[in-house]
Amino acid sequence: MKTTASIFTKITLGALLAGSIAACNKTKTDDKAVVNPATNKETIVFVNSDSLLNKYTYFKDMSKRLEDKANAAKSDVGARGQAFQREVAEYQKNATTMPADQRQTTEQRLQREQQDLQGYQQNATAQFQNEQATENSKLYDKIADFVKGYAKEKGYKLVLTYSKANPTVLYGDPGLDVTADVAKRLNEAYTKDKK
């Protein structure tokens, strides 16, 4: 779960840097917070991505799916490895009584099987990493799309993210933290989508 959170944080960092650079390039009116004159409220807020992910049911479900897939792949690779080890042990037990040509043939077959097992393990790892990247991309898109609509609805001009693992925001006034509301509404949308 920490790996997924870390990947999510890295993905959001790029988007946030671009937004931050654009915000920094605007002309500075004063040193006070940017306030929407029509509503007299802040137009820049932040979301604590650590808290959001811990509260977001979709993320929890996604993490569980990925964990189940990882465990299934690990179990499958482990079972294949144990079967191979049994074959090797059987060969070693009988090797002294085998004719030389049969020993050589068996050793070559076992060597091929070992290479096949290593290739299978590498493919399983690569496939899992691809699935994880795809799931993280879906997660990012879900959150980014939601936050875009949320910001428009609330009149926010910039929504930053905060994470202890990758702190791009060193301090944010707690009044600017919209994490709880975003998590609540994301979960409501996810519950509606599941039905």
CA distances from 6 to 11, 74, 162 (A): 9, 22, 12
pLDDT digits (tens, 9 = 90+) for 115-138: 999 999 999 999 999 999 999 999
Residue 152 CA to residue 145 CA, distance in Å, equals 11
Q: Where are the domains of the chain?
A: 2-194
Q: Which residues contact 95 (CB under 8 A, 6 or more apart)?
A: 103, 106
Token match 């509606």: residue? 192
Q: What is the pLDDT of residues 97-115, one digit of tens each?
A: 999 999 999 999 999 999 9
Residues in the chain: 195
Pairing between β-strand 44-48 and β-strand 158-162 as defined by DSSP bridges: parallel
**pTM of the model as a whole:** 0.68
